[in-house]
Amino acid sequence: MTAGEHRSKPGNGATGPSKDVTPLPDLVHGQARAGPVREHRPVYVDLLPPCNAGCPAGENIQAWLAHATAGRHEQAWRQLVADNPFAAIHGRVCYHPCETVCNRANLDSAVSIHSVERFLGDLARERGWTFDPPPTRSGKRVLVIGAGPSGLSAAYHLARLGHEVEIRDAGAEPGGMMRYGIPNYRLPRDVLTVELNRIAALGVQLTCEHRVEDLAAERAEGDFDAVFVAVGAHLAKRVDIPARDAGPMLDAVSFLRSVASGEKPAIGRHVAVYGGGDTAMDAARVARRLGAEDAVIVYRRTREQMPAHEEEAQDAEREGVRINWLRTITAFDGPEVHVEVMELDEAGYPRPTGRFETLAADTVIMALGQETESAFMRTLPGVVFERDGSVRVSESMMTGCPGVFAGGDMVPSERTVTVGVGHGKKAAHHIDTWLRGGAGEVRAKHPVATFDLLNLWFFGDAAQRQQPELDPVQRIAGFEEVVGGLSVEAATYEAGRCLSCGNCFECDGCLGACPEDAVIKLGVGHRYEFDYNSCTGCAACVEQCPVHAIEMFPEPK
């Protein structure tokens, strides 16, 4: 549709201009330009939604929520997996930092993005949706070390970019910490299997039970053009605790791995878990499911200082796990563990008080963090290692050795599934650029659409839809999944709560507000454009837009 044609306005059908505007000459480069004189003109902008900006996996959340709102579920899923192949997994295990920054939280409550993501992932499993096949092959070969979230993500994106990819992993089955560190009650194994099989279907070769000892040799022998290293942090940190006639002392990673592999370790009636991270919370919750009548977490700092996500601690407490803050284990003399009470100094660091307590404990599970195993990279020239075994990488995620990239737990960062998946995606695109002989290019991001920019007259209150959950008694009876999914109706409703911050969602507000009929509707999905021959620059469209999708810019000279 062009300027001068009829266009629709809400409530009054097709109409022409509401009043005459006398075009005035505007000399630009010596030529007259028709249209009213303006100092500023309205322009449709695409600001960065805070959810997109806050997603470590780099998802275009606002775009797939819009498809889900319209009932275009497969299109929503395909938009989502363009960035992250694990919709059903992430909808369950991601700590959704996108929701922490959601503007809707300032209005009533954040959009439950993770529950809609899970809905789309589960629908894809139910309907058998598969990834689009890779394009023409590039002829390049990439070796990925580690079949955890970061390695699998990199392999997925590299395969879709046309490269031949092989993943080598020391585990019996792929998945890394998603399989061996996250319990079934949070991530059922059938969900994991389906999403991993989709990646294998792209032609990615998975070689399990293969421990890499010398990366330089394996790269050369396999004639690989590039390597991405994404070995998880599986080495448990140790602390020396005096023990006499003690019961078992286990590290949390090995404990969770054994349970995930189908074993049932004998842990007794009383279990103490030493640590304050998410792994400590999972270890205590698993202990309850294995029959421990009492599971207590001992942590040397305060609740506010714990590295575990608050929702993890709350879930643990709902299941009967006790948390002893400001305590440190000094000795284990089964069936008792001795702890010293701590206090915070002026700088907020814990210090001993000389006061001691005794807790019942048949087993102590150590959850003090993990370190990365990177000895197999020592033969590579130029690689710089950090104290914890992780490696230093550039902005392009390349190590000091040309063609060798690293991500996930291998580099200093927050160790979550979502961060690892984001690293895999980022590395894959840098590897692709490097393989094709291009130079890395950093794209400038749009400004973030903050809450104060929105005009919220358009949006009413809409309560967040809650996912069903098992009650605490049912939870600890076994490893059944704790949190359920949304129905089609609830997921569509929840997606519709998105405010579309900074991006036009075709509400027709600008169309109805313009006194000169200078807004042209281009059809569903194509938004609008301005007829600058009619626009007077009054900014009525800007003031009416609920999501700040329009801004006034100085008139071009």
Residue indicated by tokens 């019996």: 172
Residue among 128, 233, 247 nearest 181 (CA): 233
Tokens of 478: 């076994």
- pLDDT tens, residue by residue, 539-556: 999 999 999 999 999 998
Distance of CA 56 to the CA centre of its chain: 5
**pLDDT > 70: what percent of the chain?**
92
Tokens of 445: 């991001």
Q: How far apart are CA 462 and CA 393, in angstroms?
A: 44
Mean pLDDT of the chain: 89
Give me the residues paired with residue 206 across strands.
167
Q: How far apart are CA 548 and CA 47, in angstroms?
A: 8
pLDDT at 246 over 80: no
Q: In sequence order, what are the residues at sequence separation of 6 or more whose Cβ sits closer than 8 angstroms to the Cβ of residue 27? A: 33
SS3 507: coil
Q: How far apart are CA 150 and CA 417, in angstroms?
A: 8
Check residue 8 and give its pLDDT. 30
Residue indicated by tokens 């294995």: 290
- Give me the phi and psi of 185, to 5 degrees please: -70, -15
Check residue 7 and give its pLDDT. 29
Check residue 441 and give its pLDDT. 66
237-369 CATH: 3.50.50.60
Q: In sequence order, what are the residues at sequence separation of 6 or more whose Cβ sits closer than 8 angstroms to the Cβ of residue 123? A: 73, 77, 129
Q: In sequence order, what are the residues at sequence separation of 6 or more whose Cβ sits closer than 8 angstroms to the Cβ of residue 517? A: 7, 9, 15, 16, 17, 18, 531, 534
Q: In sequence order, what are the residues at sequence separation of 6 or more whose Cβ sits closer than 8 angstroms to the Cβ of residue 234? A: 177, 253, 370, 373
pLDDT at 251 over 50: yes
Check residue 332 and give its pLDDT. 92
Q: What is the pTM of this model?
A: 0.87
Sheet bearing 270-274, strands edge to edge: 249-251, 363-366, 270-274, 294-298, 322-324
**Residue 248 or 420, more confident:** 420
Tokens of 81: 């997996």
Give me the residues paired with residue 198 across strands.
none
Give me the residues paired with residue 521 across strands.
528
Is the domain spanning 7-46+503-554 CATH 3.40.250.10? The answer is no
Alpha-helix residue ranges (DSSP H) falling in 471-518? 472-475, 488-495, 509-513
pLDDT bracket for residue 444 (50, 70, 90): confident
- pLDDT tens, residue by residue, 90-110: 999 999 999 999 999 999 999
- pLDDT tens, residue by residue, 519-534: 999 988 899 999 999 9
- pLDDT tens, residue by residue, 335-394: 999 999 999 999 999 999 999 999 999 999 999 887 777 788 888 889 998 887 788 999
**Residue 233 or 424, more confident:** 424
pLDDT at 517 over 70: yes
SS3 451: helix
Check residue 514 and give its pLDDT. 96
Residue among 379, 402, 405 nearest 391 (CA): 405
pLDDT bracket for residue 234 (50, 70, 90): low
Q: What is the average pLDDT across 299-328? A: 94
Residue indicated by tokens 């098992």: 470
CA distances from 493 to 31, 52, 109, 324 (A): 53, 20, 14, 41
**Residue 344 or 3, more confident:** 344
Q: Domain 141-235+371-435 belongs to what architecture?
A: 3-Layer(bba) Sandwich (3.50)
Pairing of strands 404-406, 226-229: parallel
Q: What is the average pLDDT across 292-306? A: 95
- Give me the phi and psi of 532, to 5 degrees please: -70, -10
- pLDDT tens, residue by residue, 200-225: 999 999 999 999 988 999 999 999 99
Instruction: Pick the range with the lowest mean pLDDT from 236-250, 386-400, 451-465.
Output: 236-250
Q: Please, are residues 534 and 3 in contact by the beta-carbon 8 Å criterion?
A: yes
Q: What is the average pLDDT across 510-515? A: 95
Check residue 536 and give its pLDDT. 93
Q: In sequence order, what are the residues at sequence separation of 6 or more whose Cβ sits closer than 8 angstroms to the Cβ of residue 220? A: none
Q: Is 152 exposed, middle or buried (0-12, 13-18, 19+ CB in 10 A)?
A: buried
Q: How far apart are CA 510 and CA 545, in angstroms?
A: 6
Q: Please, are residues 405 and 427 in contact by the beta-carbon 8 Å criterion?
A: yes
Task: Establish whether domains 7-46+503-554 and 141-235+371-435 are of one fold.
Answer: no
pLDDT at 334 over 90: no
CA distance between the termini of the chain? 27
**pLDDT > 90: what percent of the chain?**
76
What does the domain layout of the chain look like in residue ranges?
Answer: 7-46+503-554, 51-131+459-495, 141-235+371-435, 237-369
Q: What angle do CA 116, 178, 312 make, to 5 degrees?
A: 65
Residue indicated by tokens 């307590």: 357
- pLDDT tens, residue by residue, 19-66: 333 333 443 333 444 556 789 999 999 999 999 999 999 999 999 999
Q: Please, are residues 227 and 405 in contact by the beta-carbon 8 Å criterion?
A: yes
- pLDDT tens, residue by residue, 310-321: 999 999 999 999
- Give me the phi and psi of 15, to 5 degrees please: -150, 155
